[in-house]
Structure 1
Amino acid sequence: MSGERSTLAWRPLARHDAVASADLLNAVEAVDRIGENYTAEDTLQELVDPYADLERGSLAAFDGDVMVGYVKVRFKPSADVVHRVFLDGAVHPDYRRRGVGTALVDAGVAAAEVLHAAHHPAARLVVDVHKCEHVAGVAELLRSRGFAPVRHFQRLERALTGTTPDPAVPAGLRVEPWSEQVDEDFRVARNEAYRDHWGAVPMPVDAWRNKVVNQTFRPGASFLLREVATGTPVAVLVTAHWEADAETTGIRDAHFVVLGTSPAHRRRGAAGALLAHALRAAAEQGHHRASLTVDSAAPSGASGVFARAGFAPAARYVRWALER
């Protein structure tokens, strides 16, 4: 490692890096304005992810006690033909254009190959990076390392003022709020709804606990639709809220992190009913805005549902991929 990169200290991430990670990501947000603010509790949740092998799948750069960049690899709990390994990272704005990002991306790809060989060697490896489109330098860096854009996603937002959609439930279905007793039904409904979504795999219990039912989870604005006759869960919506965002912006955002309908029940009003219930609940609980991220080519054809519910585009993200 040459130049300024050699003056930095490099090591894998550890759980005690939660505060330094939050400080780095908040410094990035101050410049990039991607709408993501963090507390140490938020970053710790990512560091204890059961599918993030920090020792073999991460690298961080430090200038003294300040974390100036990191990369972290998340492998999939299961894989069939393709194993899509997710690479996430950031570089402090003051340390960009100095080779730190290049070193981290290269380290991340190498770590992805190691974890792929350890967990799903029979599948084909694809390394994914998901970044907001407007962040300067990202496209140039990723293209230089062989990545290509393969998918686009949009963040949609809706102010929680005025009227909300009619929460009428389709005939033969009933809506249920989240509770500990039906938590497993929520997870099962998510897996069934996402089974034909691009890049998705079934979410096991440990991942569900880490990524969904964590400190950001808002059970009072999370709902399930169930068939009355059979008791089968057919659609699910889970809401999250980041206190760090509210403290920074003054806007309490209810983000729908999971929203899906089983293939057999799509285009029957299930998603619209869940959205209406969640929007009303979020507004009643003091949220100012609702948001979600949607795949531009999702098989559910849900874009019309969101438009009818009053959502509008707010930001666009690019999914970059490197096939190995």
Structure 2
Amino acid sequence: MSISTPPEIPGPATGLRWRAITAEDVDAWLELVRRIAAVDKPGYVQQRADLEHVLAASSDNPARDTLLGLDRSGVARAYGYLVRTEGSDKIHGAGGVDPQWRRRGIGTALLRWQQQRARERLLETGHEKGLLRFMAEEDNASHVALFHAANASVVRYFTEMTRPLDTDIPDTKLPDGLEYVTFNEDISEALRVAHNEVFRDHWGSEERDPERWQHNVEHPHFRADWTFVVMDTAAGEIAGYNIASFDPEGEKLNGYTEGYTELLGVRRSYRGLGLAPAMLGEAMRRYKAAGMERAGLGVDTENPSGALGLYESLGYTPTFREVFFDLHVLP
């Protein structure tokens, strides 16, 4: 096995002073994220809760897995971090550079540090193979070019889709013995377990442990009133579920309000009963009743279950695509 060597932190050639991100940096970090978003106009902008979770996750070490680049005045101009699910051979990287500080090699320097740190982490946990994964929006040319320049491989595309709610909403009924139950704390753990079971064979999916799950259901964008399960009343078990969110900044970014299906799943023994279209119809009704103009979701473009075709048949149309890149850091 190769010996782990400490990753090289970007040097003074970048014009920035580098150090780990701390809880006291969250305000400055959030301001940087918003400056980047104002130019790049991504489909989603990280919130304070997301940044705080990066620093609080027990599976990561922010003292070693985060970097913040500060200019001479102490203003945050760039950041990068790594996150990893316990035991996984995949490490996820993210970062950004202030638009005023681009084209100076900062993004490349951050990416090089992330590669070295990812390799170090995998070796520390006994892995002999492993990769670093990134996501970029397909129309963000500079972000995509950065990963291509590093010889990262495109491994998957995800398509974001939306549907207007001022047209007919499908009114598919549930089979007898099944009923909708709105999210509540009493079913939260059963829903987590059901989700992990449903997504066990989905590309790129990793198990959501109680800590990560709690972050999801306590996130400010999570909508408990739009989140529901299909309950098998006789068996007392979850057959399927729709987990929903609302981004209040979405109207500014996209020009419309949207109820968003974060996760949709049907357990194997309940497939073939039409639960997915029924749940999407129910979600649409809840979104519309709350004043939303559209319903949105994202789909793995290559999902073998035919999910993309189902969503298209229900009136969802593509808005943009996300590209996933892999960099093999071991061997």
What TM-score does the superposition give when structure 2 sets the normalisation length? 0.89
Aligned-partner Cα distance in 1 for 2:29–2:136 = 18
The answer for unaligned runs of 5 or more in structure 1 is none
- Secondary structure of the structure 2 residue equivalent to 1:137: helix
Aligned-partner Cα distance in 1 for 2:47–2:158 = 25
- Check if 1:56 corresponds to 2:64: yes
Q: How far is 1:39 from its partner?
A: 4.5
- Check if 1:239 corresponds to 2:247: no
The amino acid of 1:297's aligned partner reads: E
Pick from 218, 223, 226 the counterpart of residue 231 of structure 2.
Answer: 226
Pick from 18, 39, 48 the counterpart of residue 40 of structure 1.
Answer: 48
- Aligned-residue sequence identity (percent) comes to 27
Q: How far is 1:252 from its partner?
A: 2.8
- Secondary structure of the structure 1 residue equivalent to 2:37: helix
Does the C-alpha gap of structure 1 residues 78 and 224 become closer, same or farther in structure 2, counting only changes over 3 Å?
farther
Aligned-partner Cα distance in 2 for 1:317–1:291 = 15
The amino acid of 1:110's aligned partner reads: Q
Q: How far is 1:128 from its partner?
A: 0.5
Residues 120-269 of structure 1 mapped to structure 2, 5 A cutoff: 121-122=126-127, 124-246=129-251, 251-269=256-274
- Check if 1:14 corresponds to 2:41: no
What TM-score does the superposition give when structure 1 sets the normalisation length? 0.90
Aligned-partner Cα distance in 2 for 1:322–1:146 = 7
The amino acid of 1:105's aligned partner reads: L
Residue 35 of structure 2 is matched in structure 1 by 27
- Secondary structure of the structure 2 residue equivalent to 1:272: helix
Does the C-alpha gap of structure 1 residues 280 and 180 become closer, same or farther in structure 2, counting only changes over 3 Å?
same
Does the C-alpha gap of structure 1 residues 52 and 250 become closer, same or farther in structure 2, counting only changes over 3 Å?
farther
Aligned-partner Cα distance in 2 for 1:213–1:41 = 9
Q: How far is 1:247 from its partner?
A: 6.0
The amino acid of 2:101's aligned partner reads: Y
| 1:245-304 C-alpha deviation (Å, 9 max, x unpaired) | 346666332221111222333342111111111111111112222211111122432112
How many residue pairs get aligned? The number is 319
- Check if 1:65 corresponds to 2:70: no
Residue 3 of structure 2 is matched in structure 1 by none
Aligned-partner Cα distance in 2 for 1:16–1:159 = 41
Does the C-alpha gap of structure 1 residues 130 and 248 become closer, same or farther in structure 2, counting only changes over 3 Å?
closer
Residue 84 of structure 2 is matched in structure 1 by 75
Q: How far is 1:3 from its partner?
A: 6.7
The answer for unaligned runs of 5 or more in structure 2 is 1-9
Aligned-partner Cα distance in 2 for 1:8–1:75 = 27
Aligned-partner Cα distance in 2 for 1:50–1:252 = 34
Q: How far is 1:313 from its partner?
A: 0.3
- Secondary structure of the structure 1 residue equivalent to 2:141: coil
| 1:21-59 C-alpha deviation (Å, 9 max, x unpaired) | 222222222222222235434533443334442111111
Q: Contact 2:240–2:265 (CA<8 Å) still a contact in 1?
A: yes
Aligned-partner Cα distance in 2 for 1:105–1:84 = 16
